Structures are given as C-alpha cells and as structure tokens.
Amino acid sequence: MKHIPKVQFDMTKQVLNDVEKMKKEKLLEESIIEKNDELKHLIEHFNGMDIEDFKSE
C-alpha cells in the first residue's frame, strides 16, 4: 500500500465529510419543500381559498 501524506489524507477526508453534509442538507431541503407543499394544501383546505390570497393579507 502506497503511503499517502497526512495532509492529503486529511483534505480528502474533509471533502468526503463535506459531500456527506451536503447530501444530508439536500435531503433536508427536499423534505422541507415537501412539508411546505403539505402546509400550502392544508391552508388552502382550511380557508377554502387560494394560497396566493392568503399571502397577500
């Protein structure tokens, strides 16, 4: 096995960690968007009016 310099190893590890973090954030973002859509539907349902009307008040 070839020896990898520690600095290079640490940088690689950091990049991989960042990628994992970004994946989680992306999933979180998607689930927030999903919940937001559910909320819009609920608001429309309860008010019997369009979400746009609801926003402008």
User: Mean pLDDT, to the nearest integer, of 10-30?
Assistant: 92
Asked if residue 1 is part of any domain, the answer here is no
Please give the DSSP secondary-structure letter assigned to residue 31.
H
Of 57 and 2, which is predicted with more confidence? 2
When computed from its CA atoms, the radius of gyration of the chain, rounded to whole angstroms, is 22
The pLDDT mean for the chain works out to 83
Asked if residue 49 is part of any domain, the answer here is yes
At 50, is the pLDDT very low, low, confident or very high (cuts 50, 70, 90)? low
Match 């979400």 to its residue by tokens.
Answer: 51
Instruction: State pLDDT tens for residues 30-39.
Output: 999 999 999 9
Asked if residue 30 is part of any domain, the answer here is yes
Give the type of residue at 25. Answer: E
User: Mean pLDDT, to the nearest integer, of 9-36?
Assistant: 92
Domain that holds residue 32: 6-54
Split into its structural domains, the chain has a count of: 1
For the chain, give the percent of residues with pLDDT over 90: 46
